[in-house]
């Protein structure tokens, strides 16, 4: 019973921290406005860990590698901690177990990225009907523009209705299926 509580706490607290770090990484990568309340919130709750790590891991060509590395490391800790609490015993090949958890953490970041894209596309579509001038609209646009732009160039609006979000969500769902298959293959290998 107590291990279930610890698994829940590790998964929830560190999962939210990993999500915040990943969102911060993408907001910096996509040059989202720093003055948006969501940007300020993400910076405020992640600065305690990002600023010290930036002294060790510098940025590279516009990529905030410290934030991305922290998101990966947080997922690694979640995977290792949950497996240890559930009774996983490390055998003599600790190196291969480390590599397996590292790959699974990377796959989890890719999966989280796909879910972020899908949720932002859905929220942007709903807000465009309800309140297109919401303070979230610029951030959602900066996140979804690279994905939706691919479909908008190829699929014209039908009766002034943009169908690109529908096709983007279908592609994201297909990619999530591929990621789940890769995740399962890696789990079996290690």
The DSSP secondary structure of 51-102, one letter per residue, reads HHHHTTS--BTTB-HHHHHHHHHHHHHHHHHHHHHTT----S-HHHHHHHHH
Burial 65-85 (b: 16+ CB within 10 A, else e): ebbbbbbbbbbbbbbbbbbee
For residue range 95-150, list pLDDT tens digits in order.
778 888 999 999 999 999 999 999 999 999 899 889 888 888 888 888 899 999 99
The predicted pLDDT at position 126 comes to 92
Q: Are 78 and 66 in contact (CB under 8 A)?
A: no
Positive or negative torsion for Cα 88, 89, 90, 91: negative
pTM for this entry = 0.89
Whole-number mean pLDDT of the chain?
A: 90
Residue 1 tokens read as 């019973």
What are the tokens at 173? 């769902």
Percent of residues, the chain, with pLDDT higher than 70: 97
Q: How high is the pLDDT of residue 39?
A: 87
Q: What is the mean pLDDT of residues 148-171?
A: 90
The whole-angstrom separation of Cα 25 and Cα 127 is 24
The predicted-structure confidence for 56-82, as pLDDT tens digits, reads as follows 998 888 788 999 999 999 999 999 899
Distance CA 8, CA 82 (A): 9
């Amino acid at each position: 019973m107590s291990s279930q509580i610890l698994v829940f706490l590790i998964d929830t607290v560190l999962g939210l921290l990993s999500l915040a770090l990943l969102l911060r990484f993408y907001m910096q990568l996509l040059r989202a406005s720093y003055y948006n309340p969501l940007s300020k919130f993400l910076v405020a709750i992640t600065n305690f860990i990002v600023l010290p790590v930036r002294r060790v891991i510098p940025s590279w060509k516009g990529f905030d590698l410290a934030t991305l590395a922290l998101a990966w490391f947080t997922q690694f800790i979640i995977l290792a901690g949950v497996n240890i609490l559930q009774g996983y015993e490390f055998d003599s090949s600790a190196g291969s177990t480390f590599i397996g958890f590292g790959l699974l953490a990377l796959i989890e970041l890719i999966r989280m990225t796909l879910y972020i894209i899908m949720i932002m596309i859905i929220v942007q579509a709903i807000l465009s009907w309800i309140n297109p001038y919401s303070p979230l609209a610029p951030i959602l646009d900066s996140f979804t523009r690279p994905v939706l732009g691919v479909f908008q160039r190829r699929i014209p609006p039908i009766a002034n209705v943009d169908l690109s979000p529908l096709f983007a969500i279908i592609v994201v769902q297909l990619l999530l299926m591929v990621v789940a298959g890769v995740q399962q293959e890696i789990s079996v290998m290690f």
